[in-house]
Amino acid sequence: MPATIQQNNTVVYLAPLQGFTDFIFRKVYHEIFDGIDAFFIPYISVKNNQILKKYEKEIDLENNPQSRVIPQVLANSADEMLFLSEILKEKGYNEINLNLGCPYPMVTNRGKGAGLLPHPEKINELLSSFFEKTNLLLSVKLRAGLHSANEIEQIIPVLNQFPLTEVIFHPRIAKQLYDGEIHWSAFQFAQQNLKHRLVFNGNIFSIEDLNQCQQKFPEINNFMLGRGILMNPFLPAEIKGIQYTEEEKRQKLISFHKRVFELYTEKMDNEGNVLNKMKQFWIYFSYNFPEQRKNFKLIKKANGLSKYQSAVKIIFGK
């Protein structure tokens, strides 16, 4: 049990990170850790007029037992958006999120994610069709722009025309990926001109980071965290004023890893895939331990599950 709980009004979302926050990660995180108010499912998209089979498990309600789970969609046309919306509605969802922020060229070159930001007329067409033809709730996650942070100035007036639940804003441009300076002026423009609730996303790795952001923008209470949670799964609880002893933390990390490993082993078809998935998991999980680089190197060197488990025992000190 937490040693201390202090209530505050900060709302914390888990970001949809492809390859990391899949349904197994989300489910086990929810079982063991505290502090997340909403879980976002990494984007699903259309290929050859259907969704890929791998997305079925992600959006299955049985795999999403949390109280608020919001699937994200990636689309560049009204038809794709409506197709995905109908699938998610049939699955039982009443709220979805539109990805206008994915920065990777393989996405933006197809006019999806942040690739739509230079084209406010296309975003207008997509949103108009959505709200005319479905009653689902919709939020938007976006960047400041594809090429320039000034692009947000053309997007905000479009978003203001529609009854969005909220706008989640990562104030970088796509070519920065996840590096470089935050465009604080772009976020300030959004705060001053957007008619919807604004959520901050980007570079929250500690309570100090969050406090600095709130000092700049004291009216912002909603935050989406991604890599910060992967590197420190206790961060949402810390933000909410929930404190644990060091031994409680250690036991939770052990339980988290054990359960994630068990479920990947159960769901995947061979040991090689399990090993690759767990190595990916440790890219960020290794930050929970002293000598992060040394520990991650131990995991990377493991060429089989038995050697992997031996490396894990060394890291956990048992």
Q: 288-311 pLDDT, tens per residue? A: 999 999 999 999 999 999 999 999
Total structural domains within the chain = 2
Q: Would the pLDDT of 4 be above 60?
A: no
What pLDDT was estimated at residue 48?
A: 81
CA atoms within 13 A on the CB side of 150: 0
Helix (H) or strand (E) holding 176: none
Q: Are 257 and 286 in contact (CB under 8 A)?
A: no
Over residues 54-65, mean pLDDT: 94
Same-domain status, 64 and 186: yes
Residue 104 lies in a domain: yes
**Domain limits for position 21:** 11-239
What pLDDT was estimated at residue 47?
A: 85
**pTM (two decimals):** 0.94
Who has greater pLDDT, 9 or 153?
A: 153
Same-domain status, 62 and 119: yes
Same-domain status, 162 and 303: no
- At residue 142, the 3 state secondary structure works out as strand
Same-domain status, 251 and 227: no
Q: What is the CA radius of gyration of the chain?
A: 20
Would you call 219 exposed, middle or buried from its count of C-beta atoms within 10 A (0-12, 13-18, 19+)?
exposed
Those residues with Cβ within 8 angstroms of residue 89's Cβ, 6 or more apart along the chain or in another chain: 134, 136
Same-domain status, 35 and 130: yes
The last residue of one of the domains, among 214, 239, 264, is: 239
Q: Are 43 and 52 in contact (CB under 8 A)?
A: no
What pLDDT was estimated at residue 82?
A: 96
Same-domain status, 203 and 263: no
What pLDDT was estimated at residue 225?
A: 98
Helix axis angle for 120-133 and 78-91, nearest 10°, is 40
Same-domain status, 204 and 94: yes
Q: Report pLDDT digits (tens) over 104-115.
A: 999 999 999 999
Helix (H) or strand (E) holding 170: strand 167-173
Same-domain status, 267 and 133: no
